[in-house]
């Protein structure tokens, strides 16, 4: 494992350990030699292009798809071993596409899944309340919106109080308030020591909410770490945005910055709203700020923006792209 992957370094067996995990479908290598450790109590994000192998990786970790080679250990125990059923009982899974029966009510649906999972039926009503469906529990699912179905799917994943949660695009169809509530409940679970693996294509949503993440492409992990460690690994430039008093000041500022010739400084003038954006290598941040202070009263405001997860994803270039 790379040293700079932001691993928390907590003791004990990792919640999940993958060793050389691969899955071959005919001539397609859907997952290709993945090594990974996720620590207990981590919220771990998995991102990547369509078909990168995220769901297949999830299904192998859940024991739903047999690996072609490699090994999955859950809390130090192999998922394929004799205690498979006991291990599975400690896992919660929200699949990408939840299959639900339209004629059952929300409560009946949860009770059905509780029976399958061997969980107490008394958990169902409190779980409906937890996901904001208390008032809809007796309505048939054919009357549920997409977001309500997704919330019910989340409640289903929480049945039995799992210590490990696998959530495949859980915020799909949720409105902004529901997304916020959903991530708050993930934080609460994390504080109780629950480990959460989550996939999403909405990178801005994951950026501030995961402890670490892996970027997958073509079945492989291309980058791994905290968002900050990925910024450092990639040496991703910062964005500095200057607001100036007039168009003439924009010109003055860009000439001043140009004259200093700091290497790698990308200048973009937006004269129409008196802004100047710089893409600035990290090591020149202080020099660029020192230059900005020379602008005196011409400078009205200054913002420093760290590269977003989306910037980092696209910064990987071909390594993050879907094979043609
Ligand atoms: N049962 C299967 N049989 C054959 N190929 C499969 C099977 N399941 C997945 N694949 C292929 O494996 C690759 C990885 O698929 P997977 O669903 O894991 O990707 P993903 O990263 O979850 O994609 P998405 O973001 O679109 O959900 C894809 O090329 C897919 O077509």
One domain for residues 214 and 263: no
Q: Is residue 311 part of a domain?
A: no
Q: Give me the phi and psi of 232, to 5 degrees please.
A: -70, -40
**Residue-number span of the structural domain to which 259 is assigned:** 237-306
Q: Residue 200: is it exposed, middle or buried by C-beta count within 10 angstroms (0-12/13-18/19+)?
A: buried
- Give the end of a domain, one of 209, 234, 259: 234
Residue identified by tokens 């990547």 is: 48
Interstrand relation of 266-270 and 275-280 (parallel, antiparallel or unpaired): antiparallel
Q: Is residue 118 part of a domain?
A: yes
Secondary structure class of 274 (helix, strand, coil): coil
Give the Å distance between the CA of 210 and the centre of ligand 1.
24
Query: Tell me, what CATH number does 276's domain have?
Result: 3.30.70.120
Can you give the pLDDT of all 324 residues of the chain as single tens digits? 343 454 544 457 899 999 999 999 999 999 999 999 999 999 999 999 999 999 999 999 999 999 999 999 999 989 887 777 888 888 999 998 888 899 999 999 999 999 998 999 999 999 999 999 999 999 999 999 999 999 999 999 999 999 999 999 999 889 999 899 999 999 999 999 999 999 999 999 999 899 999 999 999 999 999 999 999 888 888 888 889 998 888 888 888 877 776 666 666 666 568 888 888 888 888 888 888 888 899 999 999 999 999 999 998 887 777 777
Q: Is residue 319 part of a domain?
A: no
Query: Tell me, what CATH number does 222's domain have?
Result: 3.40.50.300
One domain for residues 155 and 252: no
pLDDT at residue 270, as a whole number: 63
Q: Which atom of ligand 1 is nearest to the CA of 23?
A: 12
Give the Å distance between the CA of 100 and the centre of ligand 1.
22
Quick one: the chain helix, strand, coil %, rounded to 5?
40, 25, 35
pLDDT at residue 269, as a whole number: 61
Answer yes or no: is the C-beta of 173 below 6 A from any ligand 1 atom. Answer: no
One domain for residues 281 and 178: no
Q: Is residue 178 part of a domain?
A: yes
List the one residue out of 196, 127, 134, 178 whose CA is nearest residue 156. Answer: 127
Q: Is residue 24 part of a domain?
A: yes
Residue identified by tokens 């859940």 is: 62
Answer yes or no: is the C-beta of 25 below 6 A from any ligand 1 atom. Answer: yes
- Give the end of a domain, one of 203, 234, 265: 234
One domain for residues 81 and 10: yes
Specify whether the CB–CB gap between 250 and 295 falls below 8 A: no
Q: Is residue 95 part of a domain?
A: no
Give the Å distance between the CA of 199 and the centre of ligand 1.
14
pLDDT at residue 215, as a whole number: 96
pLDDT at residue 11, as a whole number: 55
Alpha carbon nearest to ligand 1 atom 9, residue: 56
One domain for residues 45 and 174: yes
Q: Compute the residue count for the chain.
A: 324
Alpha carbon nearest to ligand 1 atom 24, residue: 50
pLDDT at residue 255, as a whole number: 83
Give the Å distance between the CA of 218 and the centre of ligand 1.
10
Q: Which atom of ligand 1 is nearest to the CA of 31?
A: 14
DSSP state of 140: B
Interstrand relation of 212-217 and 220-225 (parallel, antiparallel or unpaired): antiparallel
Answer yes or no: is the C-beta of 30 below 6 A from any ligand 1 atom. Answer: yes
Specify whether the CB–CB gap between 12 and 73 falls below 8 A: no
pLDDT at residue 9, as a whole number: 46
CA angle at 79 for the pair 91 and 27, rounded to the nearest 5°: 110
Q: Is residue 312 part of a domain?
A: no
pLDDT at residue 247, as a whole number: 86
pLDDT at residue 265, as a whole number: 65
Q: Of 29, 46, 49, 55, which is best to mutate to test ligand 1, by the most ligand atoms within 8 angstroms of its C-beta?
A: 55
Answer yes or no: is the C-beta of 95 below 6 A from any ligand 1 atom. Answer: no
Answer yes or no: is the C-beta of 200 below 6 A from any ligand 1 atom. Answer: no
pLDDT at residue 3, as a whole number: 39
- Give the end of a domain, one of 159, 179, 201: 159
One domain for residues 145 and 180: no
One domain for residues 138 and 243: no
One domain for residues 6 and 67: yes
Give the Å distance between the CA of 17 and the centre of ligand 1.
21
One domain for residues 151 and 182: no
One domain for residues 1 and 29: yes
One domain for residues 77 and 176: yes
Give the Å distance between the CA of 56 and the centre of ligand 1.
6
Q: Is residue 315 part of a domain?
A: no
Alpha carbon nearest to ligand 1 atom 11, residue: 30
pLDDT at residue 110, as a whole number: 96
C-alpha–C-alpha distance, residues 235 and 194, integer Å: 32
* Rg of the chain taking only CA atoms, in angstroms: 24
Model pTM score: 0.87
Give the Å distance between the CA of 50 and the centre of ligand 1.
8
Answer yes or no: is the C-beta of 323 below 6 A from any ligand 1 atom. Answer: no
Order of strands, edge to edge, in the sheet holding 238-244? 266-270, 275-280, 238-244, 299-305
Answer yes or no: is the C-beta of 172 below 6 A from any ligand 1 atom. Answer: no
One domain for residues 173 and 294: no
Number of structural domains found in the chain: 3
């Amino acid at each position: 494992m790379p040293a700079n992957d932001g691993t928390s370094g907590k003791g004990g067996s990792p919640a999940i350990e993958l060793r050389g995990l691969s899955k071959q479908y005919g001539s397609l290598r859907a997952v290709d030699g993945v090594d990974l450790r996720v620590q207990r109590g981590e919220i771990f994000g998995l991102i990547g292009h369509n078909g990168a192998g995220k769901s297949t990786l999830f299904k192998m970790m859940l024991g739903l798809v047999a690996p072609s080679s490699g090994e999955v250990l859950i809390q130090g125990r192999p998922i394929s071993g004799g205690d498979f059923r006991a291990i599975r009982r400690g896992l919660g899974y929200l699949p990408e596409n939840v299959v639900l029966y339209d004629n059952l009510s929300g409560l009946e649906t949860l009770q059905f899944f509780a029976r399958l999972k061997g969980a107490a039926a008394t958990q169902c009503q409190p779980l409906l309340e937890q996901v904001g469906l208390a008032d809809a529990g007796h309505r048939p699912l054919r009357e549920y919106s997409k977001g309500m179905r997704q919330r019910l799917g989340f409640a289903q994943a929480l049945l039995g109080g799992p210590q490990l949660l696998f959530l495949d695009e859980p915020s799909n169809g949720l409105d902004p308030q529901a997304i916020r509530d959903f991530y708050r409940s993930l934080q609460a679970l994390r504080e109780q020591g629950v480990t959460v693996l989550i996939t999403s294509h909405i990178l801005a949503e994951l950026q501030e909410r995961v402890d670490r993440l892996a970027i997958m492409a073509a079945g492989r992990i291309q980058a791994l770490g905290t968002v900050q460690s990925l910024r450092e690994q990639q040496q991703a430039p910062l964005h500095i945005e200057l607001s100036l008093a007039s168009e003439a000041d924009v010109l003055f500022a860009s000439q001043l910055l140009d004259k200093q010739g700091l290497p790698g400084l990308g200048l973009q003038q937006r004269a129409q709203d008196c802004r100047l954006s710089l893409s600035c290598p990290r090591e020149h941040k202080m020099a660029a700020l020192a230059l900005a202070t020379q602008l005196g009263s011409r400078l009205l405001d200054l913002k420093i923006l760290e590269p977003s997860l989306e910037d980092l994803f696209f910064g990987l270039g071909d390594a993050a792209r879907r094979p043609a």
